[in-house]
Amino acid sequence: MRAVDLIQKKRDGLELSSEEIKWLIEGYVAGTVPDYQMSALAMAIYFKGMSTREISDLTMNMVASGDQIDLSAIPGIKVDKHSTGGVGDKVTLILAPLVASFEVPVAKMSGRGLGHTGGTLDKLESIKGYQIEVTQEDFIKQVQETGVAVIGQSDNLVKADKLLYALRDVTATVDIIPLIASSVMSKKIAAGADAILLDVTVGEGAFMKTVEEARVLAQTMVDLGKAVGRKTIAVLTNMSQPVGTSIGNRLEILEALEILQGKGREDVTEFICELAQIMLGLADVEKTVAEVRQHIENGAALKKFEEMVQAQGGDLEDLYRPANVSHKVDVLAERDGYIVGLPALEFGLFAMKLGAGRAVKTDELDYETGIVFHKKVGDAVEKGQPIATIYANENISENMLTNFQKNVKIDDASVNTKEIIEIIS
Ligand code: URA
C-alpha cells in the first residue's frame, strides 16, 4: 500500500477499507507514514467525512495503538465521564466524588487545557502536592480503597491520538466529527471503564456550535461505545456561557468546594446532580436527583473529594487556601437590566491571557489567576453592581477592561438558559 493512494482515495470521496485504515494508523505510529501525509489525510477526511464503518475502524485501530487499562480487579460497574471541552468546566471535580459517594467506582483519566478551554488536571495541580502521574497499579489500588481517582492519561494510552491530536491542532483539522469521535472514544475505550457518560458541549465556547452538529457527534460516540459493549450515554450541554461562576485553576477548585459544601450556585449544583443521576443509572444505581443532592447536603461527596485529594498526595490545608493574586479588579454593570450573554469563548480567552490557560502546549500556567462571575445569564443587575472580579498578577489595562465590558451583554428583557439540552442514548 502507498499512503498517497489512500489520501487520493479519501480526497475523491471514496471509503477506505478496514485494512487500509489499519495500515495507515500502524504506519503513522511506527513513523513510516509521515506527518505531512497524515495531515493531508486529515484534511481529506475534513472535507469528505467518513462512514460509520470507517469511524469504527479508525477508533478501534487507535485503541490498539497503545496500552489498554484492565480495571477488572475493581469490583462493580466502573463508570467514566468525558467532556468535549469547555470554559470554567469543573464538573468532574464534583461529579467524580459525588458518584463515588454512592459506592460506584470512578476511575478517571483526565486531560490538560489548551487554548480557551480548561483541563481538570491543571485544576487539580493547583492543589499543593496533588500527583496526577500515578502508576496503573496505584490507580487501581486507589479506586479499590477510596472509590475514586482522577489522574493523567498514561503516555502509552492511545499513542495514535497523541500524535494525531497534536497534528490536527496545527493543521486546522480538530473540529470534525469523525476525528473528534474517534479521538474521544479511543481514549475512553482504552481507559477500561464499563460505562461512559459523554458531556458533549454545545455553543460558541465549544467545538460543536449548533445542537444539530452536537447531536450527530453524540450519536456517533454513543454508537461507538455500545458497539464494544460499553454502556454509553451522551448529554448535550450548554457552553454558550462559562460553567458555574469561575474560570481559572485555583478559582475553580474553590468553586468546586463551595458546590460540594452545598454553597454553590443553584443552577450548576442542580446540573451536576442531574449528571450524577445519569452516571449512577449507568452503574445500575437508580436515584432521584433529590437523593443525589443529599450526598452534597450531608457532606458525603465532599468527604470523598478530600479522600481523593489526600490519596493523591494533595495538601488538605492548601486545598482551602484562597487564590493568591496581586490584583483583584471588580467589573461593574454599566446599566440596569438582565444579563443576556457572557460568551464563553471570549472569557476563556481573557482568562488564558491572565495566565490561567495555555496558548501553546509548552506555556507555563499561573494557577491563581482567572475570573469570578457574580452574575450569570438570566440574572438581574443594577448599574454599578459588580458583575465579575478579575484575579490577576499584573495590572489590568483600560483596554482589557473595555474588552471585558464589551462582552458582558445586558438587555431589558431576561432570557432563559438551561444546562442540559438533550440526552442521547
Ligand atoms: N477532545 C478530544 O479528546 N479529542 C478531540 O478531538 C476533541 C476534543
Give yes or no for residue 327 having a pLDDT over 90: yes
Residue 152 lies in a domain: yes
Q: Among 180, 207, 239, which residue has the most ligand 1 atoms within 8 Å of its CB, making it the best to mutate? A: 180
Residue 73 lies in a domain: no
* Residue nearest ligand 1's atom 7 by CA: 180
* Domain identity same for 342 and 195: no
Q: Which of 161, 194, 199, 366 is catalytic?
A: 161
214 CA to centre of ligand 1 in angstroms: 13
Are residues 198 and 86 in contact, defined by beta-carbon separation less than 8 angstroms? no
Residue 159 lies in a domain: yes
Domain boundary among 297, 318, 339: 318
Question: Residue 117's domain is classified under what CATH number?
Answer: 3.40.1030.10
Question: Residue 28's domain is classified under what CATH number?
Answer: 1.20.970.10
* Domain identity same for 257 and 196: yes
Q: Is 110 in the pocket of ligand 1 (CB under 6 A)?
A: no
416 CA to centre of ligand 1 in angstroms: 29
Query: Is-catalytic flag, 414?
Result: no
Residue 121 lies in a domain: yes
Residue 416 lies in a domain: no
* Domain identity same for 184 and 284: yes
Percent of the chain with pLDDT over 90: 92
Residue 288 lies in a domain: yes
* Residue nearest ligand 1's atom 3 by CA: 184
* Domain identity same for 346 and 294: no
Total tally of structural domains belonging to the chain: 3
* Domain identity same for 314 and 338: no
Query: pTM of the prediction?
Result: 0.94
**pLDDT tens digits for range 3-57:** 999 999 999 999 999 999 999 999 999 999 999 999 999 999 999 999 999 999 9
Q: Which of 56, 183, 240, 246 is catalytic?
A: 183
Q: Is 58 in the pocket of ligand 1 (CB under 6 A)?
A: no
* Domain identity same for 121 and 192: yes
Range of the domain at 359: 327-411
Residue 155 lies in a domain: yes
Q: How far apart are CA 219 and CA 199, in angstroms?
A: 12
Sign of CA dihedral 131, 133, 138, 143: positive
**pLDDT tens digits for range 235-288:** 999 999 999 999 999 999 999 999 999 999 999 999 999 999 999 999 999 999
Q: Of all atoms in ligand 1, which is nearest to the CA of residue 111?
A: 3
* Domain identity same for 371 and 299: no
* Domain identity same for 139 and 276: yes
Percent of the chain with pLDDT over 70: 100
pLDDT band, residue 369 (cuts 50/70/90):
very high
* Domain identity same for 225 and 122: yes
* Domain identity same for 154 and 211: yes
421 CA to centre of ligand 1 in angstroms: 20
Q: 70 CB contacts (<8 Å, ≥6 apart)?
A: 192
Query: Is-catalytic flag, 187?
Result: yes
Residue 310 lies in a domain: yes
Q: Which of 116, 187, 250, 293 is catalytic?
A: 187
Question: Residue 399's domain is classified under what CATH number?
Answer: 3.90.1170.30
Give yes or no for residue 67 having a pLDDT over 80: yes
Domain boundary among 294, 318, 342: 318
pLDDT band, residue 112 (cuts 50/70/90):
confident
* Domain identity same for 124 and 32: no
* Residue nearest ligand 1's atom 8 by CA: 84
Q: Among 165, 175, 239, which residue has the most ligand 1 atoms within 8 Å of its CB, making it the best to mutate? A: 165
* Domain identity same for 214 and 347: no
